[in-house]
Structure 1
Amino acid sequence: MEPARGPAIEERAEGISQDQQTALLKKDAEIADLKQQLHVALENWSKWEHRAHDVEQSTQRQIQDLKRQLNLTTQRLDDKSKMLGDRIEELASAQAFVTTADQCSTAEVSSMVEQLNEDIYQCAAFMVDAIFDVRNSRRPVDGQMEAAFAKAQKEARSAMVERWDENLVNRLEADLSSEENVLVECLIQSMLVKWCYEITSPFFHESRRTRRTLTQVWKGIGSLKGPAVANNWRAMTFSQLKTKEVDTKPTADKIDSFMIFCGWRHQAEAGNLPTKVNEKLRELAQKARKIKEMAFEGILSTDVRTFYPSVEDRYDPSTMQDGHDTGKVEAGGRIICSTGLGVEAVAKRRDPSTQEKTRRLVALKSSVLLASTLGSK
């Protein structure tokens, strides 16, 4: 049988129970508070986790965007670098066209043309001597050969009339009969002057069509890009055309026809005259080509060229000189033919109104045979 508890014990037991309950309640409150804090912490952590995830995604997007921009920028840089390289190459090429540093002077060209004129005179004098030597020492020939000579001379006369005119040919025949050599010599000089002029022309070529085409291109470049670019283009073109030797045969044939008209014959005493004539023509051609090379490759700032007046021109003392210095020179006098090349420098520029201005400077006058020298009207 359980002993009965007294009042004191029961009171003490109740006190302990209340203390425990209070402690438990306190612990429960603390636990609840901790749970609340944990819940808040978990919510905050979740929020921060979501935010960190969003930031990470945003950062990844930015990184990807920056990578794309970097790739585009790199590609553009490569394109710009290539374009810059192309432009540098183009500039170098263009610079080659606009460079106008001259390697020789107009005076040097004029000096060479003077020497060429002297060589032309010596060549003509050599042929005149050969003509009169044969005329004065002609051997008798049979009738058949004489008829052949007469036929050849008639054909040569027709060519002479076509090249000049009937009156001049008649005067030449009279001079030959009286052994006057001035007109004979000057007409040979005239043929050689014209031939050397063609060789020294900007685009000398056997094909007239090719010459016209190249000349038109050169003038077109000059109009669009200016003389510096045009002259450089001409120099480059000439460097490709100059490799071919000049064909002397057409000119040799013309001179042969002229000499036959004057009485020269292909006979034994003529010796190797045709060979000597061809040698002299080749020498003239080489010197003319050298002049052209100096004028078109050595001088780029100015258009330096040879010239000679036509028979339609009248005597102009500013561009011509009397080849025989007779003292009867008058401006406006009639010209028979040209006996020497002249040299002129032509400079072109544009003024502020974009109008092209041309300045012509005659560095060497062209020699001519005047009608007054022959005593004609």
Structure 2
Amino acid sequence: MLSAKGQVMTRTNHTRSPGARNHKIWLAHTFFFSASWLSAIYKQLHPIRACFPHSAMSQVGSLSSFTYAGIAGLSMVSLVGLVKLLRRFFQAYDDISRRDAEISELRRALKAAQLDAQAKNEALAALRKELEAMKCQVQEEQRVLDTAQRHNLALGEQLSGQTRENQVHKDELARLGEKHAQTLALLDVRTMELKGAEAFLTKADALSGADVILMVNALNAEIYQTAAIVAESFEFKAEEGGDEETRTQEEVAAMEEVYVSAGEIVGAPMLDLLRSSKHHEDPTLVQIAFQAGMTAYSNWIFTSWDFEDPEDNNGLSRIYDRIRHAEEQAVSGRWRALTRAHIPRMANHELAMYFMDAFVNILLAADVAQQRSELQEAIESRFAERVGVIVKGAQTLRKAIGEEITSSDFEIVYVAHDSPFNPSAMDDAFASDFEKGRDKPEPVLCTTELGLTRVVKVPGRVGEWDETVLLRPKIALKSGIDEMMGTE
């Protein structure tokens, strides 16, 4: 309504402007009409004046002037009255026009308001229909909601029942799980017991006797080749003991230590041969000493239970001898295999140092031309790889006969120096055909190649074994070396 009223007032203000303009135009027309009227009166009086003589007119001149003046005055009064009347008329006309315009504007506003009210009524009717539809939809949704709530309530009751049932199942499952865990624990115990029993009852060997023989032969061949190569790689002094008088006390003490170490490896008789012989032309005796040293250290690897503790090593050896004496072969063999498998081993490079130290001491005892530091560096740089192959082969053979074979005992045969020579159990590596046919009550100088025997305990007999020689060891006798060297 405010907008309609504003529109009415605006339009009313616009309608006043034409009335004001018309009023001015009508006033101009009124003055023009009054002037025309006075002019017409004057024209009407002029003919009458002409009918009178001039003298008469002069007589009545003054009268005419008054008459004219009176007429003019009446005319002016009439004109003023007419103007006032016209002004009032036009004001009344303007008021009527303005009111008519306002009425027209109000009618238009009323019609617009009626149209707006009709549109709003139609919109209200549409909203009412929509509201009714929404009420119906809400009622339908409420019905569906009620149905869903009843269904959910039923499902909740069913879920509660399922939850209780599941809890019962969980409790049962927990009891079964605990029982299963107990069963698994018992199974683990029984499995460990079975494994322990299998470890002592199994008789299957991972290797055969032929396999072990091949391994021993390969090790002997590697020892022989390495000894020959090392012996040919160094130069020896031509004159024996030429610089003994010039040695200092420290050097003499150091050489005494060398002789002691070399004697422990190859034996005193072999050491005497090394010191008393000349090797600058033929280092064969040095090669034999190398073979003796490497076979001695290899035998130490095979027979040792514990490399680092001699007391533990001797204790385990005594225990094994008692078990072998009292138990069957399968039991003693499995005990040996398990014990060897779980005893810590010395690293190959540590064992190789024993071999290379033996090389140095033998060379120094044989009066080599180089000093000890030079020998140590040369041997480690040039022959460490070959020595590593020998150590690895010895370790592999140790594991084979100590851990992988239980049905019998494979023993490496090493003949210690000064042992009596037994031609039925060993071979003289340097004897001639004539010498091989004779028994010699002569001590063994050293072992050059390892042998192999197979020992099996007689079932049901205490302390009785069957022994089979698979590979005879080769030894060196002083007589054979003297014959080879041509000293006899």
TM-score normalised by structure 1 residue count: 0.66
Seen in structure 2, the aligned counterparts of structure 1 residues 304 and 263 have a Cα distance that, compared at 3 Å, is: same
Match of 1:95 among 198, 203, 214: 198
2:226 maps to which residue?
123
Seen in structure 2, the aligned counterparts of structure 1 residues 85 and 199 have a Cα distance that, compared at 3 Å, is: closer
**Structure label with greater radius of gyration:** 2
* Alpha-carbon distance between aligned partners in 2 of 1:194 and 1:122, rounded to the nearest angstrom: 16
| Most deviating of 276-285 and 286-295 | 276-285
1:226 maps to which residue?
328
1:182 maps to which residue?
284
Q: Assess if the C-alpha contact under 8 Å between 1:156 and 1:257 holds in 2.
A: yes
1:33 maps to which residue?
none
Match of 1:363 among 470, 476, 481: 470
* Alpha-carbon distance between aligned partners in 1 of 2:378 and 2:472, rounded to the nearest angstrom: 35
2:58 maps to which residue?
none
Higher relative contact order (CA 8 A, sep 6+): 1
Seen in structure 2, the aligned counterparts of structure 1 residues 165 and 107 have a Cα distance that, compared at 3 Å, is: closer
Number of aligned positions between the proteins: 293
Q: Assess if the C-alpha contact under 8 Å between 2:414 and 2:451 holds in 1.
A: yes
1:275 match: secondary structure:
helix
2:362 maps to which residue?
258
Q: Assess if the C-alpha contact under 8 Å between 1:154 and 1:261 holds in 2.
A: no
1:362 match: secondary structure:
strand
* Alpha-carbon distance between aligned partners in 1 of 2:383 and 2:330, rounded to the nearest angstrom: 40
- The alpha carbon displacement at 1:268 in A equals 9.7
Determine what percentage of the aligned residue pairs are the same residue: 22
Match of 1:212 among 274, 292, 314: 314
Q: Could you list the per-position Cα deviations for residues 55-105 of structure 1 after superposition, in whole angstroms to 9, with x for gaps in the alignment?
A: xxxxxxxxxxxxxxxxxxxxxxxxxxx999967753542122121111211
Note the aligned Cα RMSD (angstroms). Answer: 3.6
1:281 maps to which residue?
387
Seen in structure 2, the aligned counterparts of structure 1 residues 297 and 168 have a Cα distance that, compared at 3 Å, is: closer
Seen in structure 2, the aligned counterparts of structure 1 residues 101 and 119 have a Cα distance that, compared at 3 Å, is: same
2:277 match: secondary structure:
helix
Gapped runs of 5+ residues in structure 1? 1-81
Q: Assess if the C-alpha contact under 8 Å between 2:326 and 2:462 holds in 1.
A: no
* Alpha-carbon distance between aligned partners in 1 of 2:269 and 2:402, rounded to the nearest angstrom: 39
* Alpha-carbon distance between aligned partners in 1 of 2:294 and 2:223, rounded to the nearest angstrom: 7
Seen in structure 2, the aligned counterparts of structure 1 residues 105 and 242 have a Cα distance that, compared at 3 Å, is: farther
* Alpha-carbon distance between aligned partners in 1 of 2:374 and 2:193, rounded to the nearest angstrom: 64
* Alpha-carbon distance between aligned partners in 1 of 2:269 and 2:207, rounded to the nearest angstrom: 44
Equivalent positions of 1:1-377 (< 5 A) are 90-131=193-234, 133=235, 135=237, 152-161=254-263, 168-176=270-278, 179-201=281-303, 203-241=305-343, 244-246=346-348, 247-248=350-351, 249-264=353-368, 265-266=370-371, 272-327=378-433, 328-329=435-436, 330-334=438-442, 335-351=444-460, 354-375=461-482
2:445 match: secondary structure:
strand
- The alpha carbon displacement at 1:124 in A equals 1.1
Seen in structure 2, the aligned counterparts of structure 1 residues 158 and 182 have a Cα distance that, compared at 3 Å, is: same
Q: Assess if the C-alpha contact under 8 Å between 1:304 and 1:344 holds in 2.
A: yes
Q: Assess if the C-alpha contact under 8 Å between 2:274 and 2:365 holds in 1.
A: no
Seen in structure 2, the aligned counterparts of structure 1 residues 257 and 233 have a Cα distance that, compared at 3 Å, is: same
* Alpha-carbon distance between aligned partners in 2 of 1:242 and 1:268, rounded to the nearest angstrom: 32
* Alpha-carbon distance between aligned partners in 2 of 1:233 and 1:281, rounded to the nearest angstrom: 31
* Alpha-carbon distance between aligned partners in 2 of 1:159 and 1:84, rounded to the nearest angstrom: 56
1:218 match: secondary structure:
helix
Q: Assess if the C-alpha contact under 8 Å between 1:134 and 1:269 holds in 2.
A: no
Letter in 2 for 1:342: G
Quick check: which one's helix share is greater?
2
TM-score normalised by structure 2 residue count: 0.52
* Alpha-carbon distance between aligned partners in 2 of 1:174 and 1:145, rounded to the nearest angstrom: 19
* Alpha-carbon distance between aligned partners in 1 of 2:298 and 2:373, rounded to the nearest angstrom: 31
